[in-house]
Amino acid sequence: MAINLIKGQRVEIESSLSRLVVEMGWKVNPNAEPPYDLDASIFLLGNSGQIEHEADFVFYGSSNRIPALDEHGNQLYDRDGNPITRPISLDKSTLGSIDDIGEDEDDTGEGNEEIEVDLTKTSDSVKEILFTVSIYWDPSNSNDPRRKYNFGQVRDAFIQIKNAVTGDVICRYDLDEDFSTDKGVEFGRLYRRGSEWKFQAVGEAHADGLEPICRKYASKFM
């Protein structure tokens, strides 16, 4: 049975569970124009609490990528016939979500992103894997209407950890805090304590989206 967490709570990941799927989901107003664009970003942090390599910032704009494959190992393509790729961490332990996996093609306002993590591949220098979500807008366009969007208009946001082999949910955190002025949120983190891994529900918000999160965890690459 899945363990339901509240903000700040932790749960130990059993040592036999090395391959995980981290799913983050939400609902937004399906009639918003322009539509919401929420993106997952992952930071693999060292002892300093910062990423040590640029490729340990796993996000949609990363240049460190591999082909996106289906369950049979076949290359996936977008609507225009272009091969789809996925961002991956330097140690190849963390595979970012497929671009646009959260597109709301059925107009329900629901979105989700899935990240694959293989703890057996995690570099010894990585002490924590942080999972964040931010609302995208064009910072170069002062008239971009998406500037007014925030997590106060995002409903039913959650993060859950699943067994990648069986699909069973290990734990889940439903973010029910008020983020009405914020555009970026740290959902949760996997962290190492000796030979053990644990998951913590975080729920820490940032007013200006992804940029302050990057300043906090990837400052030397900015």
pLDDT in tens, 91-121: 999 999 986 443 444 444 567 899 999 999 9
Mean pLDDT of 25-49: 92
Closest among 21, 219, 55 to 125, alpha carbons compared: 55
| Domain limits for position 97 | 3-221
pLDDT on residue 31: 85
User: pLDDT category, 149, cuts 50, 70, 90?
Assistant: very high
| Cα separation, 72 vs 209, whole angstroms | 36
Domain count, the chain: 1
pLDDT on residue 103: 45
| Percent of all residues in the chain with a pLDDT value above 90, rounded to a whole number | 77
CATH value at residue 185: 2.60.60.30
8 Å CB contact between 93 and 126: yes
